[in-house]
């Protein structure tokens, strides 16, 4: 049987898979990007807030932007703090349009995108890899052959692990989000503000958010870590905290729910994921590029895709025989910052930082400049926390800060 041949088969058209396919297709490689969902409107799960630099760093057009924000607000049980800038600080991407754009660039450069196509397995034959898919529309099985197979299936890690019990230990979390349409006066109030809610009043053991989108639309969501059943029993379902934001914070009486979506994050503690196996390489959330403290993963997944793309090219050109150096570069880039974020996440979401301490921490951060708050939240420059705490809370956090050598 003559199988269709590709230089690279990438499974999963999320930010990591889409961007990796885009780079490799642009450099003239024959790529297949395969995705199990049949449209990008399905699986539109991500809140997709990101700093402004993401657009220029990854050459993204304005058409994928849902809104721009120049304010950052943190609400705790008792404290409300806003930092502002005269210039835009970031954007909220339209996650469906964004992934669709990446896929369109793959096609525009002569490569292929197959939607509604689920990866079901692979085998090795004569130095090449045979990849098997199930076409979801008619259940038909399709096989292709490739030199490099990329696992970009996000938290599912569908290719790298044959069995569930082979996977490393994960910190897992889940988030649910509503896209709602609100009254214009409510939208205008929050149109440029990225708002996070911490603390027991709004979202115990996690955080919730309101992000602006296109005209009159807001993303309202809540997320928390997976906890033991006893703790979960004492908490309300996530939906309750979303309703709380709409009813008590936005005070919207006539909103319409446009879409409800959500997903899971599975982050390997200590970055113990498998990065490659023979000619198979894993990228994005499959190797825990999401920052578990804030749940921000889009630009990190794309960054990883760019690094992987470089090694895939070298592999195809016969300059390297495995992806060991890719794994080394990834650890070099992520290990230290992700280790600190992971420990802070465990402390905040599992060990449970006392609610008053959260209130006080945020009230002390008010003395910080907007750039410094951005540096802490989006660039993980935790050493700046010292300055914001002005001495008082740094004493309270001393043990933690010393431990992590911030």
Ligand X SMILES: Cc1cc2nc3c(=O)[nH]c(=O)nc-3n(C[C@H](O)[C@H](O)[C@H](O)COP(=O)(O)OP(=O)(O)OC[C@H]3O[C@@H](n4cnc5c(N)ncnc54)[C@H](O)[C@@H]3O)c2cc1C
Summarize as ranges the residues that interact with ligand X (CB under 6 A). 11-17, 34-37, 43, 45-50, 118-119, 152-154, 156, 158, 175, 177, 221, 223, 262-263, 265, 284-285, 290, 295-298, 301
For residue 354, what are the contacts with CB-CB under 8 A and spacing of at least 6?
Answer: none
Query: CB of residue 158 vs ligand X: minimum separation in angstroms?
Result: 4
Nearer to ligand X, 35 or 100 (CB): 35
- Burial readout 282-303 (b: 16 or more C-beta within 10 A, e: otherwise): bbbbbbbbbbbbbbbbbbbbbb
Query: CB of residue 48 vs ligand X: minimum separation in angstroms?
Result: 5
Nearer to ligand X, 253 or 260 (CB): 260
Nearer to ligand X, 297 or 309 (CB): 297
The packing angle between helices 15-26 and 298-316, to 10°, is 40
Nearer to ligand X, 212 or 284 (CB): 284
Nearer to ligand X, 15 or 388 (CB): 15
The pairing of strands 71-75 and 31-35 is: unpaired
Nearer to ligand X, 158 or 362 (CB): 158
Determine the Cα angle at 35 with ends 98 and 208, to 5°. Answer: 50
Query: CB of residue 354 vs ligand X: minimum separation in angstroms?
Result: 26
Nearer to ligand X, 40 or 389 (CB): 40
Q: Which residue's Cβ has the minimum distance to ligand X?
A: 297
The pairing of strands 280-282 and 193-197 is: unpaired
Q: What is the DSSP letter of 358?
A: H
Nearer to ligand X, 191 or 222 (CB): 222
Query: CB of residue 360 vs ligand X: minimum separation in angstroms?
Result: 26
CA distance 65 to 34: 24
For residue 217, what are the contacts with CB-CB under 8 A and spacing of at least 6?
Answer: 66, 179, 180, 181, 182, 187, 258
- Show the DSSP H helices in 346-397 as ranges: 355-365, 370-379, 385-389, 392-396
Query: CB of residue 151 vs ligand X: minimum separation in angstroms?
Result: 9
Nearer to ligand X, 276 or 364 (CB): 276
Query: CB of residue 267 vs ligand X: minimum separation in angstroms?
Result: 10
Dihedral, 388, 392, 394, 399 alpha carbons, nearest 10: -170
Nearer to ligand X, 175 or 364 (CB): 175
Contact 350/232 with Cβ under 8 angstroms?
no
For residue 87, what are the contacts with CB-CB under 8 A and spacing of at least 6?
Answer: 70
CA distance 345 to 197: 15
Contact 304/291 with Cβ under 8 angstroms?
no
Q: What is the DSSP string of 60-95?
A: --GGGEEEEE-EEEEE-SS-EEEEE-SS--EEEE-H
Query: CB of residue 16 vs ligand X: minimum separation in angstroms?
Result: 3
């Amino acid at each position: 049987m003559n199988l269709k041949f590709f230089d690279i088969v990438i499974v999963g058209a999320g930010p990591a898979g889409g961007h990796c396919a885009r780079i490799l297709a642009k450099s003239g490689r024959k790529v297949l990007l395969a995705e199990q969902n049949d449209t990008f409107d399905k699986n539109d799960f991500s809140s997709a807030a990101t700093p402004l630099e993401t657009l220029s760093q990854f050459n993204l057009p304005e058409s994928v932007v849902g809104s721009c924000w120049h304010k950052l607000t943190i609400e705790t049980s008792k404290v409300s703090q806003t930092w502002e800038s005269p210039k835009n600080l970031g954007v909220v991407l339209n996650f469906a349009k964004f992934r669709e754009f990446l896929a369109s660039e793959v096609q525009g450069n002569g490569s292929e995108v197959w939607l509604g196509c689920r990866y079901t397995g692979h085998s090795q034959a004569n130095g090449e890899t045979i990849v098997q898919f199930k076409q979801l529309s008619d259940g038909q099985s399709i096989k292709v052959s490739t030199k490099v197979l990329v696992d970009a299936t996000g938290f599912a890690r569908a290719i790298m692990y044959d069995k569930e019990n082979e996977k490393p230990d994960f910190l897992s979390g889940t988030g649910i989000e509503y896209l709602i349409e609100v009254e214009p006066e409510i939208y205008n109030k929050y149109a440029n503000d990225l708002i996070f809610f911490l603390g027991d009043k709004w979202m115990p053991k996690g955080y919730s958010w309101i992000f602006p989108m296109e005209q009159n639309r807001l993303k309202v969501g809540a997320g928390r870590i997976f906890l033991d059943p006893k703790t979960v029993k004492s908490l309300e379902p996530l939906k309750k905290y979303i309703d709380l934001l709409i009813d008590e914070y936005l005070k919207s009486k006539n909103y319409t729910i446009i879409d409800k979506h959500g997903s899971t994050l599975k982050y390997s503690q200590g970055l113990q994921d498998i990065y490659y196996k023979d000619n198979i390489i894993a990228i994005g959330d499959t190797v825990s590029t999401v920052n578990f403290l804030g749940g921000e993963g889009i630009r990190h997944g794309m960054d990883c895709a760019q690094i992987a793309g470089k090694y895939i090219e070298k592999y195809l050109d016969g300059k390297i025989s495995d992806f060991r150096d890719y794994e080394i570069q990834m650890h070099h880039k992520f290990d230290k910052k992700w280790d600190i974020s992971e420990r802070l996440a465990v402390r905040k979401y599992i060990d449970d930082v006392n609610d008053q301490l959260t209130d006080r921490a945020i009230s002390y951060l008010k003395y910080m400049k907007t750039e410094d708050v951005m540096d802490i939240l989006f660039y993980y420059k935790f050493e700046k926390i010292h300055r914001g705490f002005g001495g008082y809370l740094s004493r309270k956090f001393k043990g933690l800060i010393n431990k992590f050598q911030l």
